[in-house]
Each structure stands twice: as structure tokens, then as C-alpha cells.
């Protein structure tokens, strides 16, 4: 697939200021400058995040009301229900809040809605459960901001709500006792990009002193907060970076029993990095809600001993195995539907439907299809008497607006810029497919249909050294707005030793200015003929550590290769 290369242009003055202040390689200074760092002090805060730099939780709108209501509930021995979404952010948020309140209050339980029976967010079944079991206060985490009707219903039953959410509020807010959400227009909290678990963490931070509990009673949940930050793809800036940095530190020294159990089942034996949370821990937690019931994810995180946590972790591990099998099978079937049909040629969107596909993985499959056909994608399956599914977008295209334009064909829909879900009548599938294609084709910028590779800086092969790599590693944890740096090497020539390995991968060997360097390009075997021309090539790559027979070396992880462009 052809890709667009975008090489970032740094602020020359800021870059030079950093070079003089930090005395590190100019390429690293360029990267730091792009990421908003402009002085020795801001660089120090970036490389050495301090928990003392977290904002005062009392700056968040309604924090006083939330704390006052919880204190009242504990004094009066009211029953408190901790309620959260079924994904990683929701289950970790519930686990944190439940464990904290368990220290000071016994009339307590938690509730995770079932993905298929109840759907996303606050559910009527959950409110009814609270009423039938005598709960008078619900703390909703990672959900609730869009549940005005159900929170109003709870009010008629004598149940108060505290909402801790991070999703964009609507104009009409729920009638809750307190709404903690930095994205509220009149909320003065300085950092707006917390995940749901992060908002819950701020509430815990405000509550702890009220119960004469010290910082240790708050910071013991940092590894769970870091897991939520990693999984929810929120910006790795500001408070998120501080929390993730210290959360990873805790996960590597004294992890939550659930994280420890999942690490062992995932065969993580070295230091835990943010990528491990994203690709090994998070999928197993999410699989519980996708394939079965996410309650066991919380049970794993709140387990008092390792053996109990391992019991639930093994269930999640099994769910994830089922999820991978379903994901793989459906992806193959979906690709066959597209590749075997001429009507897909020239389309600007993808919409596929099969009634037997598993509802829990259609969003993942949509992302897989984008890897093959880079365009806005919807995957539908049969759910009861209706069709339902998930949509994923390509960067820059507002998927929610496109689906909103197709609303006449839908029974319900929701989502945001990059992802969405919808439900429709079975007989509307073809009409919806046609309308979605019309909307996308008429509104999408053609450039958005070509993947973009963002290149941070030029770096010659001679400059790939351990000193530079070690400093770059201190830029972790990586994530949105602080991605692992990508470099470009210009005018390199194949050394003659590049070859295909395991049929689909490219073992690359390049030479530039008398320096040779090796790398690996996954699923890039088709680039070998280009290298064999023995003409100068430009290579986009990341630097990574490779260990073989006890020896550690640096190598390029190749992202793309093309013939060198004229200057």
C-alpha cells in the first residue's frame, strides 16, 4: 500500500535552545521541540515526571459535592454501588474505587453491565439492581455523562448518582449530585485529557485525607491507572504521562495481583513497558466483556491474594484465546467478501455484513480491514432481530458525522470522531451501505485514503548509537502526542545481504557513508526487489533493541522504503 511521508519541520530557535541546554543529539532536540518542550526546566519535568506536579483534585468542578456526598454515605452506613463500563478503563476504574472505599466502608458492591444484555453505560438493569438491593448512592465511572434519562429514573427511586466521566458532555447534563468531568465547559480543572480511571483517581485523591489516609493509600492504584491510560489511547501528555510513568514503575516493583497474574500468563519476564499494557494486558481484560462478562476482570483486580487473581486471570486468558480465534476467522471471511467482488473496486468506504459473526469482535475486525483497505469501515452482524455493528475511521475523517448523515436508515447510533456503533433493521443494510458510501465519497479528502507516515527527524546510520537510544528510551511511556520517534535515513544502498525471512518479512542490510546497519521490516518482503536495484533508497525506521544468544544490539525496525527522492 502506497503511503504518504510527512517530515516534521522543527522550530529552529527552540531546537538550538534545547541543544545548548541539554547537550544531546540535535535529532532528539528536534523531537522534543515538536512535543512542546522549550527549556531545561520543561525537559526535566518531561524526563523525570513528579507526582508532586499533579494538579489539586479540588480544582475539578463538583469535587466538593462528590466528597461531601460520599462522606455522608459512609457516616450513615448507606449502601454504595460502584458502577463502571465493561472495558479496561471502566473495569480498572471500578477496581480502584471499590478497593479504596473497602478500606473505610463495608456496605459496598460493584456492578459492570453486560455488553450484550444491557449495552454501554448506565443501564436500567443496573439501576433496578441498585434499587432492589437497597443501594442509595451509585458512583458511575467511565460512563454516565450521557445517561440523563436513566439517572433521572434513579432519582425517582431515591438513588443518588456521582458521575466520574471523561467523554464529551451533551448540552443537557444528568441530574446527578456531582459530575466530575474536566471536559465540562465550566470546569476549571487544568488538564482535560484524563481517562475515566484517571477521573476516579482524582476523586480518590480528594477523599483520602478525609479518612486520614496518606498518599500510599492513593498511589497503590497507579499501575491500574497506567493500564487504563494505555488502553484508552488518551494523549500521553501532562498528568497522563506522570500517572503512566509512575504506574509503570509500580507495575514493575509491586504490581496489582491481577496485573501480576496476567503478566505471567502473557509470558512477560522482562521489564513491563507501556506496549505490554497495550498489546498483552489490555486485550485480555477487554476480552472478558467482548466474549462473556467483564465482572470477572474487576474480581481479578480486587483479589486479595495472587492465587485468587490467577483464577480470574486464567478465565480472561481463555476469553482472549476465543476472541483471537473469532477475530481471525471473521477477518478472513470479510476480506474474502471484498476481494472476490468487483463492486468494491473504487469504493471510498467498506461495509460488510454476515449474520453469524460474533458481535464482540466486529470493531476489531473493522480495524483489521482498514489495514488492508485504507478507508472508513463498518462491520455488521445480526443481533436478535436487528443488525448491529461497529465502525472505525481513518485519521482525519469524522466518522460520527458521516453516520449521522445516514440516520434515516438507523434505529440508533453513537460514537465519536474515530469510532462508532449502530443498530438498524435487517432490510436496511443494503440501503445503509449505499448511503454511507455516498456520504464518504462526497466528503472525504482523497489524501485521507492514503496512510500517512509522520517522520520526526533525519538520522544517519552513523548516529544510531546506544547513547542516543538510551536517551530516547527515557521519553517513554509512549502514546498519542508522544509516539515512539520515527526517523528517516536518506541515500542508503543495500549492502547485498538483505533477504526474505519466514517468507513474508524483510531482513534489511544497508550501507551509508561507510557505515553498515541491519534492520527488520515485518511483512515487507515485497520491498526486496527495490533494494536489489542497488540504487539509493530512503528508509523510514524506528530504533529498537534486539537480543540474540545473550547479545544485545541496536537494529532498525523498518516502516517504509522508497527510492531516494531528488533534493
390 sits in which H/E element: strand 386-392
Q: Which of 449, 472, 502 is the last residue of a domain?
A: 449
Q: Which whole-number Å values give the CA distances from 290 to 87, 246, 294, 323, in the listed order?
A: 9, 29, 8, 8
Average pLDDT, the chain: 94
Please tell me whether residues 117 and 215 are part of one structural domain. Answer: yes
Please tell me whether residues 222 and 247 are part of one structural domain. Answer: yes
Whether 283 is in a domain gets the answer yes
Please tell me whether residues 502 and 436 are part of one structural domain. Answer: no
Please tell me whether residues 458 and 433 are part of one structural domain. Answer: no
Please tell me whether residues 133 and 255 are part of one structural domain. Answer: yes
Q: Is the peptide bond before 444 cis (omega within 30 degrees of 0)?
A: no
Please list, in sequence order, all residues whose beta carbon lies within 8 angstroms of the beta carbon of residue 133, skipping any fewer than 6 positions away.
79, 109
Q: Given this model, what pLDDT does residue 547 score?
A: 84
Q: What is the pTM of this model?
A: 0.92
Please list, in sequence order, all residues whose beta carbon lies within 8 angstroms of the beta carbon of residue 142, skipping any fewer than 6 positions away.
84, 85, 87, 89, 90, 93, 164, 165, 166, 195, 196, 197, 199, 200
Q: Once rounded to an integer, what is the mean pLDDT over residues 109-118?
A: 90
| Residue-wise pLDDT tens digits, 333-347 | 999 999 877 778 889
466 sits in which H/E element: helix 466-473
Whether 324 is in a domain gets the answer no
Please tell me whether residues 114 and 255 are part of one structural domain. Answer: yes
Does the pLDDT of residue 2 top 90, yes or no?
no
What percentage of the chain reaches a pLDDT higher than 90?
86
382 sits in which H/E element: strand 377-383
Please tell me whether residues 110 and 218 are part of one structural domain. Answer: yes
Please list, in sequence order, all residues whose beta carbon lies within 8 angstroms of the beta carbon of residue 120, skipping any fewer than 6 positions away.
85, 86, 113, 143, 414, 421
Q: Given this model, what pLDDT does residue 342 score?
A: 75
Domain region containing 345: 341-449
Please tell me whether residues 123 and 141 are part of one structural domain. Answer: yes
53-62, 495-504, 541-550 — which one is most confidently predicted on average?
53-62
Whether 376 is in a domain gets the answer yes
Q: Once rounded to an integer, what is the mean pLDDT over residues 315-320?
A: 94
The CATH number for 471's domain is 2.40.50.460
Please list, in sequence order, all residues whose beta carbon lies within 8 angstroms of the beta carbon of residue 350, skipping any fewer than 6 positions away.
338, 344, 369, 373, 375, 376, 377, 378
Please tell me whether residues 404 and 534 are part of one structural domain. Answer: no
Place of cell 481513518: 394
Length of the chain: 567
Please tell me whether residues 473 and 433 are part of one structural domain. Answer: no
Q: Which of 391, 425, 449 is the last residue of a domain?
A: 449
Please tell me whether residues 91 and 25 are part of one structural domain. Answer: no
Report how many domains make up the chain: 4
| Residue-wise pLDDT tens digits, 212-240 | 999 999 999 999 999 999 998 899 999 99
Does the pLDDT of residue 268 top 80, yes or no?
no
In the Cβ-directed half-sphere of 162, how many Cα atoms lie within 13 Å?
27
Could you give the residue ranges of the DSSP H alpha helices within 157-291? 196-207, 216-219, 222-231, 238-251, 257-265, 274-276, 282-291
Does the pLDDT of residue 318 top 80, yes or no?
yes
Whether 276 is in a domain gets the answer yes
Cβ–Cβ < 8 Å for 476, 246: no
Nearest to 337 by CA among 323, 354, 360, 324: 354
Cβ–Cβ < 8 Å for 299, 258: no
Grid cell of 286 as nine digits:
477487554
Whether 141 is in a domain gets the answer yes
Please tell me whether residues 190 and 206 are part of one structural domain. Answer: yes
Does the pLDDT of residue 567 top 70, yes or no?
no
Whether 327 is in a domain gets the answer no
516 sits in which H/E element: strand 515-521
Whether 371 is in a domain gets the answer yes
Whether 152 is in a domain gets the answer yes
The CATH number for 302's domain is 3.90.1640.30
Amino acid at each position: 500500500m502506497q503511503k504518504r511521508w510527512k517530515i516534521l519541520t522543527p522550530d529552529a530557535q527552540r531546537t538550538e535552545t534545547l541543544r545548548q541546554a541539554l547537550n544531546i543529539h540535535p535529532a532528539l532536540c528536534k523531537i522534543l521541540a515538536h512535543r512542546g518542550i522549550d527549556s531545561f526546566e520543561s525537559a526535566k519535568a518531561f524526563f523525570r515526571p513528579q507526582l508532586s506536579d499533579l494538579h489539586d483534585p479540588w480544582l475539578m468542578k463538583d469535587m466538593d459535592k462528590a466528597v461531601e456526598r460520599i462522606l455522608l454515605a459512609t457516616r450513615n452506613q448507606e449502601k454504595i454501588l460502584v458502577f463502571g463500563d465493561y472495558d479496561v478503563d471502566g473495569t480498572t476504574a471500578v477496581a480502584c474505587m471499590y478497593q479504596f472505599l473497602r478500606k473505610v466502608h463495608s456496605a459496598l458492591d460493584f456492578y459492570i453491565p453486560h455488553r450484550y444484555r444491557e449495552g454501554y453505560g448506565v443501564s436500567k438493569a443496573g439501576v433496578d439492581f441498585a434499587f432492589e438491593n437497597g443501594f442509595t448512592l451509585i458512583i458511575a465511572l467511565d460512563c454516565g455523562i450521557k445517561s440523563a434519562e436513566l439517572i433521572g429514573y434513579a432519582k425517582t427511586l431515591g438513588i443518588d448518582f456521582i458521575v466520574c466521566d471523561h467523554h464529551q458532555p451533551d448540552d443537557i447534563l444528568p441530574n446527578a449530585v456531582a459530575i466530575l468531568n474536566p471536559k465540562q465547559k465550566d470546569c476549571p480543572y487544568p488538564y482535560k485529557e484524563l481517562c475515566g480511571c484517571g477521573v476516579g483517581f482524582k476523586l480518590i485523591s480528594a477523599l483520602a485525607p478525609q479518612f486520614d489516609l496518606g498518599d500510599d493509600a492513593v498511589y497503590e492504584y497507579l499501575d491500574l491507572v497506567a493500564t487504563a491510560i494505555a488502553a484508552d489511547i488518551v494523549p500521553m501528555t501532562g498528568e497522563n504521562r506522570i500517572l503512566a510513568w509512575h504506574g509503570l514503575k509500580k507495575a514493575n516493583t509491586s504490581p496489582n495481583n491481577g496485573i501480576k497474574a496476567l503478566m505471567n500468563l502473557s509470558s512477560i519476564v522482562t521489564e513491563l513497558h507501556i506496549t505490554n499494557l497495550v498489546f498483552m494486558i489490555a486485550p485480555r481484560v477487554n476480552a472478558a466483556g467482548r466474549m462473556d462478562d467483564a465482572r470477572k476482570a474487576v474480581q481479578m483486580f480486587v483479589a486479595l491474594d495472587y492465587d485468587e487473581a490467577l483464577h480470574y486471570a486464567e478465565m480472561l486468558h481463555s476469553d482472549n484465546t476465543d476472541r483471537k480465534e473469532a477475530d481471525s476467522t471473521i477477518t478472513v471471511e470479510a476480506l474474502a467478501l471484498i476481494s472476490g467482488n468487483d463492486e468494491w473496486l473504487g469504493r471510498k468506504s467498506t461495509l460488510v455484513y454476515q449474520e453469524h459473526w460474533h458481535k464482540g469482535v466486529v470493531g476489531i475486525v473493522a480495524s483489521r480491514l482498514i489495514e488492508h483497505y485504507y478507508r472508513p469501515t463498518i462491520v455488521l452482524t445480526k443481533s436478535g432481530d436487528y443488525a448491529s455493528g461497529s465502525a472505525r475511521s481513518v485519521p482525519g475523517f469524522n466518522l460520527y458525522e458521516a453516520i449521522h448523515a445516514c440516520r434515516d436508515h438507523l434505529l440508533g447510533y453513537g460514537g465519536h470522531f474515530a469510532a462508532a456503533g449502530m443498530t438498524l433493521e435487517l432490510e436496511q443494510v443494503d440501503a445503509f451501505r449505499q448511503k454511507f458510501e455516498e456520504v464518504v465519497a462526497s466528503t472525504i479528502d482523497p489524501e485521507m485514503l492514503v496512510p500517512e507516515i509522520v517522520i520526526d527527524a533525519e538520522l544517519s546510520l552513523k548516529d544510531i548509537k546506544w547513547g542516543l537510544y538510551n536517551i530516547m528510551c527515557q521519553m517513554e511511556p509512549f502514546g498519542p502526542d508522544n509516539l515512539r520517534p520515527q526517523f528517516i535515513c536518506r541515500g542508503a544502498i543495500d549492502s547485498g545481504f538483505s533477504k526474505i525471512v519466514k517468507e513474508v518479512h524483510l531482513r534489511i542490510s544497508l550501507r551509508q557513508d561507510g557505515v553498515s546497519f541491519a534492520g527488520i521490516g515485518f511483512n515487507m518482503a515485497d520491498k526486496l526487489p527495490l533494494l536489489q536495484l542497488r540504487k539509493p533508497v530512503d528508509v523510514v525506521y524506528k530504533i529498537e533493541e534486539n537480543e540474540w544468544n545473550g547479545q544485545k544490539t541496536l537494529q532498525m525496525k523498518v516502516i517504509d522504503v522508497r527510492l531516494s527522492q531528488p533534493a
